[in-house]
Amino acid sequence: MDKLIHDDKGNTTISNDGATIMKLLDIVHPAAKILVDIAKSQDSEVGDGTTTVVLLAGEFLREAKPFIEDGVHPQNLIRSYRTASYLAIDKIKELAVSIEGKSLEEKKTLLAKCAATTLSSKLIGGEKEFFASMVVDAVMAIGNDDRLNLIGIKKVPGGNMRDSFLVNGVAFKKTFSYAGFEQQPKKFLNPKILLLNIELELKSEKENAEIRLSDPVQYQSIVDAEWNIIYDKLDKCVKSGAKIVLSRLAIGDLATQYFADRDIFCAGRVTEEDLRRVAAATGGTVQTSVNNIIDEVLGSCEVFEERQVGNERFNIFSGCPSGQTATIVLRGGADQFIEEAERSLHDAIMIVRRALKNSTVVAGGGAIDMEISRYLRQHARTIAGKSQLFINSYAKALEVIPRQLCDNAGFDATDVLNKLRQKHASGEGVNYGVDINTGGIADSFANFVWEPAVVKINAINAATEAACLILSVDETVKNPKSESAQGEAAANAMAGRGRGGAAFRGRGGRGMRRR
């Protein structure tokens, strides 16, 4: 289920991403802030499982509450919870299946299944196969590079989700342009690309600049020198052999017309992120001067074209030699919908990257949680003393994941959980989880509902640590001195206003009597 969050500035966000929701909530309680922190850490470390980690931490605390109320010392609970988490993580590693040693096509198919599992709970879940393959292609395009900003996501309102497309290269919106831009060619094959970080326009002098002339004739030579400087820069750009000139700073009307007359495409005020991605893809280097431009600093691509996408025009570089970047152009109706689609794709991209690096996957749909729960219950029977109860409560808390899946899909959680417990207890249903299509149970692995093992390991680790941290707190101490100081300051301010008013009235009254 999605949440609609409306803030005091009037911004509306629709999302079911745990980290996004936690960030947008104005949380004051210090213990609740810990849950926000673990959701953020899960998002930055793994990218998905943010809702899982908050759910688990909350459920661990709920299961611990009766024990604390009955007078159990928190340290006993913490020890048992930590032991249970180590056992759970070892069991996950034991059940995980490696995808190493597969061919590229097989690996792509497996990664697409992981991405589809992530997207199934999102707003764009109806088109998960379409977007899953797009995400896998985008991640494969950047190779082993860790920089997530090499995958650009551009949002264009209008059309439907199926109109979204992937560019194996760079795409960015047409920048602000001057007269003469429409006369420039809009398509090139195998062009040379010059990337600049300088202005190509006539600049006005600073406010305090001053030139003193003894002869009016000299004025013209100063104006000519100014024009010669800009023409010299433009001439060097043309002589470099580049057919496309991009700059992070402005390219003025004179330069635009100059390039148009020579069949060169130019774009100024390109954002730094897009310029960096163009450099990574085309093999070019951003220049801060137009002097001594050699072939080695120029980039290249197979095809450059300017294409209309909805109401926007996009500059698209494809067939880049380095191939170290990709761009997903997202289409859709409402702005909130496209923004949620972008957040969903971010989660899927992170998951695919993690699956590529840590190449082990486990069954999703609550299957791994039920199996760990069964394993911990079984292990608890071999332990004497109170720890048995605490590990049992930890095992019960893990069942919150399949229960929540059933609730969100509108099925009877009690009925489904009973079937799952029965199947896992028989020893045959290790990979059985919730089937959200039929409302029953199914083999998650056979149905390709997979998730990287690192997601579950990280979620259990973070949730256990957060629960143990909150349990270990036995007293909340506020600083009463600072509070009383604030109170006194406020009281003094009020009293001061009151005295001032009284004095003013008094003086006014005496003045009237004298008169």
The 3-state DSSP class for residue 2 equals: coil
C-alpha to C-alpha distance for 39 and 19, rounded to whole angstroms: 5
Q: Provide the residue-wise pLDDT of the chain in tens; the chain has 515 residues.
A: 778 888 778 788 887 777 778 778 878 888 888 888 888 888 777 777 788 888 899 899 999 989 888 888 889 999 999 999 999 999 888 888 887 767 777 777 878 877 887 777 777 777 888 888 888 888 887 777 666 777 888 888 888 888 888 888 888 888 887 877 788 888 888 888 899 888 888 776 666 677 777 877 778 888 888 888 888 888 888 888 888 889 988 888 888 888 888 888 888 888 888 888 888 888 888 888 888 888 888 888 888 888 888 788 888 888 877 767 888 888 887 777 888 888 888 888 887 887 777 778 888 888 888 889 989 988 888 888 888 899 999 999 988 888 888 888 888 888 888 888 888 888 777 888 888 778 788 888 777 777 888 888 888 998 999 999 988 887 777 777 665 655 666 556 555 544 444 444 444 444 444 44
Tokens representing 16 are 């079911």
For residue 443, the model assigns a pLDDT of: 83
Contacting residues for 509 by C-beta, under 8 A, at least 6 apart: none
Q: Among 473, 464, 476, 433, which residue's Cα sits nearest to residue 58? A: 464
C-alpha to C-alpha distance for 35 and 47, rounded to whole angstroms: 16
For residue 484, the model assigns a pLDDT of: 60
Tokens representing 235 are 């001439």
The 3-state DSSP class for residue 397 equals: helix
Sign of the torsion angle spanned by Cα atoms 157, 161, 163, 165:
positive
Catalytic center residues: 17, 50-51, 347
Q: Which amino acid is at 377?
A: R
C-alpha to C-alpha distance for 360 and 451, rounded to whole angstroms: 9
> pLDDT (tens digit, 9 = 90+) per residue, 150-180?
788 888 888 888 888 888 888 888 888 787 7
Q: Among 405, 314, 324, 356, which residue's Cα sits nearest to residue 138? A: 324
C-alpha to C-alpha distance for 116 and 247, rounded to whole angstroms: 39
> pLDDT (tens digit, 9 = 90+) per residue, 418-445?
888 888 888 777 888 888 778 788 888 7
C-alpha to C-alpha distance for 240 and 299, rounded to whole angstroms: 12
HEC readout, 200-247: ECCCCCCCCCCCCCCCCHHHHHHHHHHHHHHHHHHHHHHHCCCCEEEE
Q: Which amino acid is at 209?
A: A
DSSP H/E element including 507: helix 480-514
For residue 508, the model assigns a pLDDT of: 44
The 3-state DSSP class for residue 138 equals: helix
For residue 86, the model assigns a pLDDT of: 92
On whether the CB atoms of residues 439 and 348 are closer than 8 A, the answer is: no
For residue 127, the model assigns a pLDDT of: 80
C-alpha to C-alpha distance for 161 and 119, rounded to whole angstroms: 14
DSSP H/E element including 274: helix 272-282
Is this structure's pTM higher than 0.85? no
For residue 481, the model assigns a pLDDT of: 66
On whether the CB atoms of residues 423 and 335 are closer than 8 A, the answer is: no
Contacting residues for 28 by C-beta, under 8 A, at least 6 apart: none
For residue 146, the model assigns a pLDDT of: 65
